[in-house]
């Protein structure tokens, strides 16, 4: 879900994804190459994301991943589920604290 | 920069991924590591520390492999990467086919032309093979057909072409033969009948085809009736109650398949016969069409006299015995047979001893198929040649395409595709084209077969069996695969070995070496086309020669013929028969639009074959030697003039000759010339058929008639009155079975036939009319084998010419397009348009001339196989050879003209700008 969310706005390459996860989680969540790429490939196999080699000027070619239509649906579903889950947790914890 | 890839590849190694996928992953991951490494360096770490930190991302030796294993192994399918290494021929077949389909869709023009060309070639070949298979190759539909032989006797010293068997031989072979399991004889076409009988006693009188056979003929073929019982030897004994077997079709037609037909009575030629059985549905007697009845011959062994050679024999050899053994056995038995039976009056035994009787034992299939095989093989050869030319054309297209894809192939080879892999890919493309062509071809073939069957020459045996069966399908698949391989292999041989990038790059000129194969192919094409065209040319000349032959009768389209048979029950007295026939003749002549009418025992080209030895009074024959065979025809007065056969000397027969039984006779011109030098000299001479017969005086000499076909010489003939007594002791003999010939401009119309029937029935209402044909029908039918071969070879020749011209055009035109720059330079340097034009035409013409030379040599070697089909023209006819060569050269010039005129329009500047 994290990865899907990260590439929702625009396609990103693997290193960018791992940096973003690391930065946005404040270093709490970190993917190593050995676990990130198998995950990416798995998502790609499932047809949720699609990788494509892109060659930009003054840069080496990189593989950018973008969200597929199916991936977008999955992400929406997962987000909804996640939000409901969080809301549920919140309601439970708020009730206890109140 | 550190060697990330090596590190990653080492960790990926246990996964054993497809090389391209492995490279891709390594590429992506190493970039990640490089990015990480650069970042760490930028943040001030030492190179060493940064390297180790980056490498940590891979987390140990086996994690990456472990995590990737499920994904890559389970879900990963090879992407389509052309030129990838492959384990065996079938691996990656789906991907190659997909790739091939894509390549073909990219050039639909090429695909359509290639597929259609192949479809034509394969379709034609398969169709003709279908005919060949059904007619010639398929075994006869009896059990152990290889044991079945036709067994006959030929009088070698008299006429080796004659082959019949006589009852005494049947009895001797049956009783004393060591090699024969069984033997039976039959007759379906004897002197006064054409194998047809009148059936009455059912609602309508009808003339149907019947076979007279000994009781063991069917057991020889191992056929049992499907219903009722088979003939027993007692059915076949003289004096036994008359019986009959029905064929399945006749039983269906007349009794609607009712089993109660068994035991009922049919009246066959006025005699009641009991139906004892029905033959199986799939039973066919040799190639006899529309057989209705089989009747026992009832030969009387005790009354058999030697020399009645009017039957045909079929025997089943004992398992494991050969034709040679059977022939030896029969040779040994023939003298025994001759000496064991009494001689016929007037036919001394010595005559047969001197005739050098010899057994002629052939596989039964040969008797059915006859010499048809020869002409079918010729047609097969012709159409096969077209297929070859079509293949060459498509192979040329493939070469051009492969030429254009040299860069692609070289690139793929450079990227690691093995030669084998590229070859397999090329082969699969050609197989795909071949298969599509084959599939279309099969559809074409099934359409063509219907056409072929409809237009097949009359007398083509087993024509009703023709269809697409398993052997034809196997053949079609075989031809398709062969063609596909041929197509694929040529470019592979040409390019498979020389795929390097430097060669595969941009090539603007054209190398002699690369063009060589295509030139060779075109030369072959021209040669093949020439051979085919020469064959068609020879057939055209044959056809012209045949249609210019004087058949001995005039304007056959105006001649209506039909057969009648007068049963004894209607006219018992022989002497009254001619009056009866004259009465019908007069009734027919009174029909409006009829200019003349005649009656005869047979008409030209109707297939009857009534011959006898005829001796002349003033000629001496060596002791015991038989005089030559002459064709015997029994005619009414007016028959010859109706037919348009001229009377060259003397006079026609008259009704007075007939009724008064005057000892007169007519002979054909060549008989007269052979014996007496000129037609007039023959008048007054006397001839007879047997030493016990009376002499008859020749009162007229008539023109020769080609009665067996335009390609066969006219047989010398003797024309007798339709009523005669051979000697004082002999019975009076009239013609009960015969053909009326009516000359009318309305011949062939149904209205005329209606009036004809009415005229006949006004004399005898129970008389059926059979074999209603115009003489022109018989005439055209006699030419059918030639015209069929002509049409087939003509179509094949036209296709060959067209394909050859296209092949030449495409090669020259391609070469011009490849040489545009060279031509530009030449013109820039001052070459005239004329020079360029001549250069291009000369290139094409040189190929044509080489092709023509090879073709002429090939034709000289091959046309002799045609010789059995040729008439009035030699297989090496110079006129045909030269004419066809000139025609082909002219077409070739035309094919070169178009690209040549394009070449002269090359603008030197445009051409040079290619640089």
Per-residue confidence (pLDDT) for residue B886, from 0 to 100 = 92
Asked whether the beta carbons of residue B58 and residue A42 sit closer than 8 angstroms, the reply is: no
* Residue to test with chain A: of B8, B28, B77, most A Cβ within 10 A: B28
Name, of B205-209, B429-433, B494-498, B646-650, the range with top average pLDDT. B646-650
Task: Tell me the per-residue pLDDT of B81-140, one tens digit each, with 9 for 90 and over.
Answer: 444 444 455 556 677 777 777 777 777 777 888 888 888 888 888 888 888 888 778 888
pLDDT category of residue B368 using cuts at 50, 70 and 90: confident
Q: How far, CA to CA in Å, does B469 sit from each of B133, B679, B702?
A: 9, 57, 51
Asked whether the beta carbons of residue A33 and residue B33 sit closer than 8 angstroms, the reply is: yes
Write out the CATH class of domain A2-97: mainly alpha
ipTM (interface pTM): 0.84
| B130: nearest Cα among B555, B573, B463 | B463
- Rounded-to-integer distance, Cα B167 and Cα B151, Å: 12
pLDDT category of residue B76 using cuts at 50, 70 and 90: very low
Our CA-based measurement puts residue A96 at a distance from the nearest CA of chain B, in whole angstroms, of 41
Per-residue confidence (pLDDT) for residue B164, from 0 to 100 = 84
Asked whether the beta carbons of residue A32 and residue B29 sit closer than 8 angstroms, the reply is: no
Whether A71 and chain B come into contact, CB under 8 Å, resolves to no
Interface of B with A (CB under 8 A): 25, 27-29, 31-33, 35-36, 56-60, 63-64, 67-68, 71-72, 75-76
Q: Any idea where the domains of chain A sit in the sequence?
A: 2-97
Whether A82 and chain B come into contact, CB under 8 Å, resolves to no
Task: Specify the pTM.
Answer: 0.63
Q: Decide if B739 contacts B562 (C-beta within 8 A).
A: yes
Q: Decide if B315 contacts B219 (C-beta within 8 A).
A: no
3-state secondary structure of B579: helix
Closest in A41, A62, A63 to B71, CB measured: A41
Per-residue confidence (pLDDT) for residue B279, from 0 to 100 = 92
Residues in chain B closer than 8 A to A45 (CB atoms) = 71, 75-76
Per-residue confidence (pLDDT) for residue B248, from 0 to 100 = 92
Per-residue pLDDT averaged across B864-883, rounded?
85
Residue located via tokens 């060279």 = B822
Asked whether the beta carbons of residue B29 and residue A37 sit closer than 8 angstroms, the reply is: yes
Asked whether the beta carbons of residue A34 and residue B59 sit closer than 8 angstroms, the reply is: yes
Our CA-based measurement puts residue A5 at a distance from the nearest CA of chain B, in whole angstroms, of 20
Task: Tell me the per-residue pLDDT of B654-684, one tens digit each, with 9 for 90 and over.
Answer: 998 888 888 899 999 999 998 898 888 888 8
Asked whether the beta carbons of residue B64 and residue A14 sit closer than 8 angstroms, the reply is: no
Whether A64 and chain B come into contact, CB under 8 Å, resolves to no
Asked whether the beta carbons of residue B25 and residue A42 sit closer than 8 angstroms, the reply is: no
Per-residue pLDDT averaged across B885-901, rounded?
87
pLDDT category of residue B700 using cuts at 50, 70 and 90: very high
Residue located via tokens 């192919």 = B521
Judged by average pLDDT, the poorest of A22-31, B46-55, B418-427 is B418-427
Residue of A nearest to B75 (CA): A45
Our CA-based measurement puts residue A20 at a distance from the nearest CA of chain B, in whole angstroms, of 13
Per-residue confidence (pLDDT) for residue B190, from 0 to 100 = 39
Per-residue confidence (pLDDT) for residue B782, from 0 to 100 = 80
Asked whether the beta carbons of residue B68 and residue A63 sit closer than 8 angstroms, the reply is: no
CB-based burial label for B712 (10 Å; 0-12, 13-18, 19+):
exposed
Whether A56 and chain B come into contact, CB under 8 Å, resolves to no
Asked whether the beta carbons of residue A35 and residue B67 sit closer than 8 angstroms, the reply is: yes
Our CA-based measurement puts residue A15 at a distance from the nearest CA of chain B, in whole angstroms, of 5
Judged by average pLDDT, the poorest of B242-246, B367-371, B574-578 is B367-371
Q: How far, CA to CA in Å, does B710 sit from each of B9, B596, B713, B772, B775?
A: 85, 25, 7, 21, 13
Whether A25 and chain B come into contact, CB under 8 Å, resolves to no
DSSP states of B505-537? S---S--HHHHHHHHHHHHHHHHHHHHHHHHHH
Give percent above pLDDT 90 in chain B. 9
Task: Tell me the per-residue pLDDT of A50-93, one tens digit each, with 9 for 90 and over.
Answer: 888 877 766 677 888 888 888 888 888 888 888 888 888 888 87
- Average pLDDT along chain B: 82
Give percent above pLDDT 70 in chain B. 91
* Residue to test with chain B: of A13, A19, A37, A53, most B Cβ within 10 A: A37
Closest in B32, B75, B76 to A33, CB measured: B32
Per-residue confidence (pLDDT) for residue B757, from 0 to 100 = 86
Closest in B28, B64, B75 to A34, CB measured: B64
Asked whether the beta carbons of residue B32 and residue A18 sit closer than 8 angstroms, the reply is: yes
Residues in chain A closer than 8 A to B75 (CB atoms) = 42, 45
Whether A22 and chain B come into contact, CB under 8 Å, resolves to no
Per-residue pLDDT averaged across B165-186, rounded?
89
Do strands B206-213 and B291-296 pair parallel, antiparallel, or not at all (unpaired)? parallel
Q: Decide if B167 contacts B485 (C-beta within 8 A).
A: no
Element (H, E) at B387: helix B372-404
Per-residue confidence (pLDDT) for residue B701, from 0 to 100 = 93
Closest in B28, B57, B72 to A34, CB measured: B57
Asked whether the beta carbons of residue A15 and residue B59 sit closer than 8 angstroms, the reply is: no
Residues in chain B closer than 8 A to A32 (CB atoms) = 56-59
Q: Residue B273 pLDDT more than 80?
A: yes
Per-residue pLDDT averaged across B180-187, rounded?
89
């Amino acid at each position: 879900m994290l990865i899907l969310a990260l590439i929702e706005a625009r396609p990103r390459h693997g290193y960018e994804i791992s940096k973003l996860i690391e930065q946005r989680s404040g270093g709490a969540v970190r993917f190593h190459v050995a676990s990130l790429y198998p995950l990416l490939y798995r998502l790609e196999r499932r047809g949720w994301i699609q990788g494509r080699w892109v060659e930009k000027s003054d840069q080496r070619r990189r593989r950018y991943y973008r969200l597929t239509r199916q991936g977008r649906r999955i992400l929406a579903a997962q987000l909804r589920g996640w939000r409901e889950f969080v809301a549920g947790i919140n309601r439970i914890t708020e009730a206890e604290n109140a | 920069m550190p060697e990330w890839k090596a590190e990653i590849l080492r960790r990926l190694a246990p996964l054993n991924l497809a090389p391209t996928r492995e490279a891709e992953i390594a590429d992506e991951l190493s970039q990640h590591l490089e990015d990480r490494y650069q970042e760490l360096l930028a943040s001030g770490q030492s190179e060493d520390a940064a390297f180790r930190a980056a490498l940590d991302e891979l987390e140990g030796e086996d994690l990456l492999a472990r995590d990737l294993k499920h994904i890559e192994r389970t879900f990963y399918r090879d992407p389509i990467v052309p030129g990838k290494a492959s384990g065996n021929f079938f691996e990656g077949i789906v991907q190659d086919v997909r790739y091939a389909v894509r390549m073909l869709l990219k050039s639909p023009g090429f695909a359509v032309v290639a597929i259609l060309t192949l479809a034509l070639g394969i379709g034609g070949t398969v169709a003709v093979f279908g005919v060949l298979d059904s007619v010639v190759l398929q075994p006869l539909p009896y059990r152990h057909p290889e044991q079945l032989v036709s067994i006959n006797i030929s009088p070698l010293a008299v006429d080796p072409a004659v082959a019949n068997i006589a009852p005494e031989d049947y009895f001797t072979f049956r009783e004393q033969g060591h090699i024969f399991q069984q033997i039976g004889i039959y007759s379906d076409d004897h002197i006064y009948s054409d194998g047809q009988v009148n059936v009455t006693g059912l609602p309508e009188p009808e003339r149907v085809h019947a076979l007279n056979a000994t009781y063991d003929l069917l057991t020889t073929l191992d056929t049992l009736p499907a219903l009722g019982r088979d003939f027993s030897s007692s059915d076949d004994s003289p004096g036994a109650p008359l019986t009959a077997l029905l064929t399945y079709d006749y039983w269906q037609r007349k009794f609607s398949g009712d089993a109660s037909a068994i035991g009922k009575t049919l009246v066959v030629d006025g005699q009641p016969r009991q139906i004892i059985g029905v033959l199986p549905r799939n039973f066919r007697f040799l190639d006899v069409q529309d057989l209705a009845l089989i009747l026992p011959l009832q030969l009387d062994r005790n009354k058999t006299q030697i020399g009645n050679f009017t039957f045909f024999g079929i025997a089943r050899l004992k398992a494991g015995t050969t034709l040679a053994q059977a022939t030896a056995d029969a040779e040994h038995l023939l003298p025994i047979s001759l000496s064991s039976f009494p001689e016929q009056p007037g036919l001394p035994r010595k005559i047969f001893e001197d005739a050098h009787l010899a057994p002629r034992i052939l596989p039964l299939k040969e008797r059915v198929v006859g010499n048809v095989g020869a002409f079918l093989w010729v047609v097969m050869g012709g159409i096969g040649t077209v297929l070859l030319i079509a293949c060459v054309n498509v192979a040329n297209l493939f070469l051009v395409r492969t030429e254009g894809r040299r860069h692609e192939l070289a690139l793929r080879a450079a990227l690691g595709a093995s030669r084998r892999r590229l070859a397999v890919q090329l082969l699969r493309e050609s197989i795909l084209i071949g298969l599509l062509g084959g599939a279309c071809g099969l559809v074409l073939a099934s359409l063509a077969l219907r056409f072929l069957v409809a237009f097949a020459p009359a007398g083509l045996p087993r024509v009703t069996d023709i269809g697409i069966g398993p052997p034809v399908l196997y053949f079609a698949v075989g031809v398709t695969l062969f063609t596909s391989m041929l197509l694929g292999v040529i470019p592979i041989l040409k390019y498979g070995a020389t795929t390097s990038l430097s060669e595969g790059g941009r090539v603007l000129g054209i190398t002699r070496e690369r063009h060589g194969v295509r030139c060779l192919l075109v030369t072959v094409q021209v040669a093949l086309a020439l051979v085919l065209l020469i064959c068609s040319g020879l057939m055209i000349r044959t056809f012209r020669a045949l249609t210019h032959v004087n058949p001995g009768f005039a304007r056959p389209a105006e001649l209506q013929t039909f057969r009648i048979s007068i049963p004894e029950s209607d006219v018992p007295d022989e002497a009254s028969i001619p009056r009866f026939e004259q009465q019908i003749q007069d009734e027919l002549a009174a029909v409006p639009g009829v200019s003349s009418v005649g009656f005869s025992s047979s008409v030209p080209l109707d297939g009857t074959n009534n011959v006898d030895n005829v001796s002349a009074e003033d000629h001496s024959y060596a002791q015991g030697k038989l005089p030559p065979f002459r064709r015997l025809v029994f005619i009414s007065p007016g028959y010859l003039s109706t037919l348009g056969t001229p009377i060259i000397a003397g006079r026609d027969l008259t009704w007075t000759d007939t009724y008064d039984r005057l000892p007169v006779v007519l002979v054909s011109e060549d008989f007269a010339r052979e014996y007496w030098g000129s037609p007039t000299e023959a008048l007054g001479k006397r001839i007879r058929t047997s030493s016990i017969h009376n002499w008859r005086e020749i009162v007229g000499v008539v023109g020769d008639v080609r009665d067996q076909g335009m390609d066969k010489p006219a047989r010398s003939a003797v024309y007798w009155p339709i009523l005669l007594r051979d000697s004082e002791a002999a019975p009076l003999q009239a013609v009960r079975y015969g053909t009326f010939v009516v000359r009318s401009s309305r011949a062939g119309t149904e209205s005329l036939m209606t009036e004809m029937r009415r005229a006949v029935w006004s004399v005898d209402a129970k008389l059926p009319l059979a074999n209603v044909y115009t003489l022109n029908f018989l005439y055209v039918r006699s030419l059918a084998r030639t015209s069929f071969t002509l049409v087939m070879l003509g179509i094949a020749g036209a296709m060959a010419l067209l394909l050859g011209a296209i092949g030449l055009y495409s090669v020259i035109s391609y070469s011009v397009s490849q040489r545009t720059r060279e031509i530009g330079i030449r013109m820039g340097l001052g070459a005239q348009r004329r020079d360029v034009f001549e250069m291009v035409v000369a290139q094409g013409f040189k190929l044509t001339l080489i092709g023509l030379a090879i073709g002429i040599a090939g034709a000289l070697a091959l046309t002799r196989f045609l010789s059995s089909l040729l008439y009035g023209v030699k297989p090496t006819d110079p006129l045909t050879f030269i004419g066809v060569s000139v025609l082909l050269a002219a077409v070739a010039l035309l094919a070169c003209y178009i690209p040549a005129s394009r070449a002269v329009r090359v603008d030197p500047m445009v051409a040079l700008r290619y640089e």
